[in-house]
């Protein structure tokens, strides 16, 4: 058996271990940092000068000071100093500064991106798989200019919103 958990490196209590409360409290501090994680901001290279306990940031590459070598990790200020959490694929963090979720995709943060196969509201699918592009109106023996203009405007709006090509 290892001394720490596989995903978040939380310390385990081991039979016969002295000062078990130290290891237990360390695990609780790390859980507090990553459970329903929220950060003040992302892409921080230098530790803030006056953080409050519980405040956290996502460290950027090339960071300095206490953040050096901690790229993409969550840095949280505690009463005992800085604690860092290594992120795992699928981990989600609320970015307070930008007002959206960030998801660790394994090689980088997807910021403000929603992943899924459909959007459902009250059990009804509103947005689903993207279908082929809508063809522009053409042909017909009688051309109705106003109808074609309305269809073209609707198609342009759908394209602008990314709902069709």
Taking all residues of the chain, what is their mean pLDDT, rounded to a whole number?
Answer: 85
Q: From its phi and psi, is residue 68 left (phi > 0), alpha (psi between -120 and 50) or beta?
A: beta
Sheet holding 81-85, edge to edge: 41-44, 56-59, 74-78, 81-85
Over range 1-24, report the average pLDDT.
Answer: 76
Burial of 15 (0-12, 13-18, 19+ CB in 10 A): exposed
**Measured between alpha carbons, how far is 36 from 40 in angstroms, rounded to an integer?**
13
Residue spans per domain, the chain: 20-111, 130-160
Torsional sign, CA 55, 115, 7, 70? negative
What pLDDT digit, counting tens, does each position of 44-72 carry? 999 999 999 999 999 999 999 999 999 99
What pLDDT digit, counting tens, does each position of 123-150 carry? 887 777 777 777 777 766 666 777 888 8
What pLDDT digit, counting tens, does each position of 86-96 carry? 899 999 999 99
Whether 90 and 76 have beta carbons less than 8 Å apart is answered as: no
Looking at residue 97, its pLDDT comes to 96
Beta pairing, strands 41-44 & 38-39: unpaired
User: DSSP letters of 40-93?
Assistant: SEEEE-S--SSPPTT-EEEEPTT--GGGTT-TT-EEEEETTEEEEE---TT-EE
pTM, to two decimals: 0.68
């Amino acid at each position: 058996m290892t001394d720490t958990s596989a995903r978040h490196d939380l310390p385990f209590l081991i039979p016969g271990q002295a000062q078990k409360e130290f290891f237990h409290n360390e695990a609780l501090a790390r859980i507090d940092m990553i459970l329903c994680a929220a950060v003040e901001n992302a892409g921080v290279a230098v530790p803030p000068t006056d953080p409050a306990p519980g405040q956290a940031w996502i460290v950027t590459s090339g960071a300095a000071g206490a953040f050096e070598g901690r790229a993409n990790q969550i840095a949280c200020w505690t009463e005992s100093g800085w604690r860092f959490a290594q992120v795992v694929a699928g981990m989600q963090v609320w970015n307070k500064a930008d007002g959206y979720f960030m998801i660790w995709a394994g090689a980088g943060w997807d910021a403000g991106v929603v992943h899924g196969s459909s959007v459902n509201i009250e059990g009804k699918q509103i947005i689903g798989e993207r279908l082929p592009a809508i063809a522009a109106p053409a042909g017909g023996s009688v051309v109705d200019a106003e109808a074609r203009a309305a269809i073209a405007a609707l198609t342009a709006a759908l394209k602008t919103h990314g709902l069709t090509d």
